[in-house]
């Protein structure tokens, strides 16, 4: 029986010739990730284990990003805990304020994630790195502690869903629309503990930023991971960003998939996920007038340079609607700098938006854009659960940067074509 991409990577890291869905394995890890919320819990667990040091100071990444710069005393204490742990253990990849960014944008940018890796992170959106042909998945803080101590983790080998992407998306349709369409199609538990494996000639029309977005939200369909084949675009990205060697794994022709879906990217339309689940999707042409109060463009899902360029293209020469709050958050310092040098930040500020330093901030209801009772927000983030960005009576509409920017201008959910 053939293996999928994910199964091949896991087999290699478990020292096995082959694995099959449902099998329990112990695999070697190439990277263990934690942030300022999850790392303190893992650090305390390591202390209970009475472990001396970490398995490899070069294979751990600690990224304070959720409440950074610190918003209050508690978040400052969390970051102090991580900072001191990094110092004690001489962690190579600890990213302090000034170096940090939103973890899932930062690590690929820094070249810490490459094809063929097995990566765990104490954050559910660790599945982002599948865009580069890696197996990456979110775990709990206890698993992170064990990973930092031993360099190993237990996995149940996932079965897979195959998505064959064909065609070329139209002007304003992006990776966010692709993954929202998929989640709307299969549901938030449609891929529970399965791998989303993407293939097809349509992938060539998706930028790396599009692919990161799609892999990032695999978890919103319940998936264990999302993964793309390594093509010329992925190879070029890794060559630019990383000095690490990588290994390409390809699915066998007789690999077994639970289901196969074909998606014509040219037929997709701009898509919005209504409250309070990412599966509650509607295309723009199905939406009646919905007034909004706030727009957030950023996060580990859509805070990359392509996203900011799209938002700037929509906002240039226009102005945010009266009474509207538009918050833009570049995902890393490099993205912030590149956006500044391209003049994008000037465009945003002239349009009446504000620009924040890199942070997860409002995505998880942290800070930099909390919603009050009854308020509505169009956000490029990944979740729109009840109370996710503030008050339990607020509403979050998930959308692409193009739709978010257009909505900021009109004060209602809109696409760029309506401007």
| Burial call 273-290: b when 16+ CB within 10 Å, e when fewer | bbbebbbbbbbbeebeee
Supply 117's token pair: 């890796």
| Confidence at residue 96, expressed as pLDDT on a 0 to 100 scale | 93
Q: What is the CATH number of domain 5-263?
A: 3.30.499.10
- Kindly indicate the confidence band of residue 193, based on its pLDDT and cuts at 50, 70 and 90: very high
CA 113 to CA 106: how far, in whole Å? 10
Say if residue 1's pLDDT is above 90. Answer: no
- The pTM score is 0.95
Going from the C-alpha of 76 to that of each of 64, 106, 307, 346, 362, the distances in angstroms are: 10, 21, 30, 31, 17
Is pLDDT of 419 > 90? no
Q: Hunting for tokens 């304020």 — which residue is that? A: 97
Give the Cα-Cα-Cα angle 124, 215, 227 (nearest 5 degrees): 110
Helices (H), 249-382: 299-302, 305-315, 333-341, 344-350
For residue 147, what pLDDT band results from cuts at 50, 70 and 90?
A: very high
pLDDT at residue 52 tops 90: no
pLDDT band at 309 (very low <50, low <70, confident <90, very high): very high
Residue 50 is predicted with a pLDDT of: 86
Q: How far apart are CA 269 and CA 178, in angstroms?
A: 9
Residue 219 has pLDDT above 90, yes or no: yes
- pLDDT at position 51 is 85
Closest C-alpha to 395, from 366, 372, 415:
372
Among 345, 143, 344, 181, smallest CA distance to 267 is for: 181
- What confidence tier does 326 reach under pLDDT thresholds 50, 70, 90? very high
Instruction: Write down the pLDDT at residue 228.
Output: 98
Q: What is the average pLDDT score of the chain? A: 96
CATH architecture of the domain with residue range 270-414 = 2-Layer Sandwich (3.30)
Encode pLDDT of 368-409 as tens digits: 999 999 999 999 999 999 899 999 999 999 999 999 999 999
CATH 3.30.499.10 domain locations along the chain: 5-263, 270-414
Q: How many CB atoms lie within 10 A of CB 60?
A: 25
* Residue-level pLDDT at 388: 94
């Amino acid at each position: 029986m053939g293996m999928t991409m994910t199964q091949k990577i896991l087999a290699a890291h478990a020292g096995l010739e082959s694995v099959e869905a449902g099998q329990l394995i112990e695999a070697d890890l190439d990277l263990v990730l934690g942030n300022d919320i999850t790392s303190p819990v893992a650090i305390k667990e390591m202390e209970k284990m009475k472990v001396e040091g970490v398995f490899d100071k070069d294979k751990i990444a600690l990224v304070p990003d959720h409440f950074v710069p610190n918003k209050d005393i508690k978040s400052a204490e969390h970051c102090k805990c991580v900072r001191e742990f990094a110092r004690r253990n001489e962690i190579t990849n600890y990213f302090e304020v000034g170096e940090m960014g939103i973890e899932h944008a930062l690590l690929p940018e820094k070249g810490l994630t490459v094809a063929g890796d097995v990566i765990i992170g104490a954050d559910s959106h660790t599945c982002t790195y599948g865009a580069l042909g890696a197996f990456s998945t979110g775990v709990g803080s206890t698993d992170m502690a064990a990973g930092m101590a031993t360099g190993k983790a237990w996995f149940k080998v996932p079965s897979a869903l195959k998505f064959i992407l064909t065609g070329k998306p139209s002007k304003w349709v992006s990776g966010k629309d692709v993954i929202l369409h998929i989640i709307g199609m299969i549901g938030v538990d449609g891929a529970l503990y399965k791998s989303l494996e993407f293939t097809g000639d349509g992938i060539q029309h998706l930028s790396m930023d599009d692919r990161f977005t799609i892999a990032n939200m695999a978890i919103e369909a319940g998936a264990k991971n999302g993964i793309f084949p390594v093509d010329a675009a992925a190879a070029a990205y890794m060559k630019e960003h990383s000095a690490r060697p990588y290994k390409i794994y390809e699915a066998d022709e007789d690999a077994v998939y639970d289901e196969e879906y074909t998606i014509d990217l040219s037929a997709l339309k701009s898509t919005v996920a209504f409250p309070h689940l990412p599966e509650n999707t509607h295309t723009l042409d199905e939406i009646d007038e919905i007034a909004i109060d706030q727009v957030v463009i950023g996060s580990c899902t859509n805070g990359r340079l392509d996203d900011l360029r799209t938002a700037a293209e929509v906002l240039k020469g226009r102005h945010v609607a009266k009474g509207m709050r538009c918050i833009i958050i570049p995902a890393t310092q490099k993205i912030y700098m590149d956006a500044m040098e391209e003049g994008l930040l000037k465009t945003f500020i002239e349009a009446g938006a504000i620009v924040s330093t890199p942070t997860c901030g409002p995505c998880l209801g942290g800070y930099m854009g909390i919603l009050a009772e009854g308020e509505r927000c169009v956000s490029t983030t990944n979740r729109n659960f009840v109370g996710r960005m503030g008050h339990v009576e607020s509403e979050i509409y998930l959308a692409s940067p193009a739709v978010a920017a257009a909505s900021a201008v009109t004060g209602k959910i809109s696409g760029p074509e309506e401007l």
